[in-house]
Amino acid sequence: MTNLLKLPAMTGQYFRMVIETPKGSAAKLAYEPKAGVFEYSRPLPVGNTYPFDWGFIPSTLGDDGDPLDGMVIHQAATAPGVVIKCALLGAVRLKQTDDDGNRIRNDRYIFCPHKEDAPDEPITDGHVPDELRREIEQFFFSSVLGTGKKIKLKGWQDADEAAASLRKGMKEFRRRHAH
């Protein structure tokens, strides 16, 4: 089985998103590359579900040593392991404090599917509407309840700023995996 962590991050001008947890799920799933499976990670707090497909950008590394996280804003719910070609809309900038007091930057990248794959989606102008931004922020705050993690919102990045951060994550992946 292909190691999804090592798929190229981009295809042409679009980013790849590997879906770990589909829209509507009340549990967080995580890709386990050694076994090549998606494992149950933890339940979300009572009443919470993922508002959109959630996953990672392959061939990237963040400050936490994991691939960079992303959310795909679209009407569909896919399944773990689905790869979606996406346009980058921006990123939610977050500072995360773990239960051991370790502080890291842990941004969440926001995407929409490439149009030929999904023609009738809620994002049409390449911009996340303010009301949807607030809802996404609230989801991130509520999703860490009970994990020992705390997050602080540091604002939003537009697509160009977010792309620069993603390129940094791609460079870090190449540096760590150069042989």
Predicted confidence (pLDDT) per residue in 7-65, tens digit: 999 999 999 999 999 999 999 999 999 999 999 999 999 999 999 999 999 999 998 89
3-class SS at 131?
Answer: helix
CA–CA separation, 106 vs 77, rounded Å?
24
Residue 179 lies in a domain: no
Domain assignment of residue 75, given as a range: 4-174
The number of distinct structural domains making up the chain is 1
Residue 49 lies in a domain: yes
Residue 168 lies in a domain: yes
Residue 112 lies in a domain: yes
Beta strands 103-105; 37-43: pairing state: unpaired
What does pTM read for this prediction? 0.92
The tens digit of pLDDT for each residue in 51-88 reads: 999 999 999 999 889 999 999 999 998 999 999 999 99
| DSSP code of residue 1 | -
Residue 87 lies in a domain: yes
The length of the chain is 179
Residue 81 has φ and ψ, to the nearest 5°, of 95, -10
Here the CATH number for the domain that contains residue 94 is: 3.90.80.10
